[in-house]
Amino acid sequence: MKGVEVSLRAKLKDYTTIGIGGNAERMVFPRSIAEVCEIFSVERRAGVTVQTLGAGSNLLVSDNGVQGTVLCTKKHLSKVVFLGGCSVIAEAGVMLPRLAVLCALSNLSGIEPISGIPGTVGGALVLNAGAYGRRIGDLVEWVEIVDAEGVLHRVEAQAIWFGYRETAFPVHGAVVRAGFRFAEGTREVVFEQIRRWNEKRRTSHPWEEKSFGCAFRNPQGGESAGALLDRAGMRGEQEGDAYFSEKHANFLLNRGKATAADVCHLMNRGRKAVEEQFGVLLTPEVRMWGDFGA
């Protein structure tokens, strides 16, 4: 892997929005899709696992860190190409807020409701990130994925299942690039929509603090996870420096020195309280990397 940017024993807390986590044995920062293919191919032959990281905005990494290689898309895989006819190609590491601004500047509409999600295109596609009635899966035409052997595949949107905060691709691996189709819009109107959605977000979410967004998915049909946690008395509850936000009870925050173990304990307490009081079993929305015990 000559020429690939590598960091040994990288501190994953510096790469997650909640600011928690041990080290990655090795972290790589590919500059091109060809480099992603090479990394997967070389590591596969060496028997090393590769995990893909975007902006780390929906991730809890164990205090003991992770074995193997972490491939970070956010640093360099950030190209966006406007093709005309409302079609846009974005690499996996492009941040959604940046894509939204570039769309607005190009008079393209559609991404506004999800423009404030602090994740990458790749992470958003894997989780079918969404807000205010729009999900990224609604906008995508095709996705390119590098599989565990280092082979690049293009998958059309019809072959992908987009669910609630989850996506099933016919090929497993790292999302490296995607094609989107937006609608024609007017720059000023699109910017105004972005401003409006972000304002809404800022008034309802603890925006300034370290978090990974919602800890739990909303149960189907019934009350939101936040409302259930609130009624179960979890608003403001803490373990060490980890606590459930006073503003939005489903947002789990790091006041400073919280550990992954603190976060886990608190999530378990929240889950237990909601199950005991309302008979609803909450499912974590945050993805977890590393060893968290049984």
Ligand X SMILES: Cc1cc2nc3c(=O)[nH]c(=O)nc-3n(C[C@H](O)[C@H](O)[C@H](O)COP(=O)(O)OP(=O)(O)OC[C@H]3O[C@@H](n4cnc5c(N)ncnc54)[C@H](O)[C@@H]3O)c2cc1C
Active site members: 165, 214, 285
Q: For ligand X, which residue of 171, 174, 232, 282 counts as binding (CB under 6 A)?
A: 174
Pairwise CA distance, residues 226 & 71, whole Å: 32
Residue 290 binds to ligand X (criterion: CB under 6 A): no
User: 278 or 292: whose CB is closer to ligand X?
Assistant: 292
* Binding segment (CB under 6 A) for ligand X, from list 4-12, 24-32, 45-53, 183-191: 45-53
Strands 50-53 and 66-72: parallel
User: 24 or 175: whose CB is closer to ligand X?
Assistant: 175
User: 54 or 150: whose CB is closer to ligand X?
Assistant: 54
Closest of 128, 89, 135 to residue 108, by C-alpha: 89
Residues 116-135: x where in contact with ligand X by CB under 6 A, - otherwise, as a string: -xxxx-xxx-xx-xxx----
How far apart are CB 63 and ligand X at their closest, in Å?
A: 17
Query: Is residue 172 classed exposed, middle or buried when 0-12, 13-18 and 19+ CB atoms within 10 A define those classes?
Result: exposed
Residue 215, C-beta contacts closer than 8 angstroms, at least 6 positions apart:
225, 244, 250, 251, 252, 267, 270, 284, 285, 286
Residue 53 binds to ligand X (criterion: CB under 6 A): yes
Strands 87-91 and 173-181: antiparallel
Structure tokens at 166: 């989850």
Q: For ligand X, which residue of 62, 73, 250, 254 counts as binding (CB under 6 A)?
A: 73
**Residues near ligand X (CB under 6 A):** 17, 51-59, 73, 92, 117-120, 122-124, 126-127, 129-131, 174-175, 205, 211-213, 287
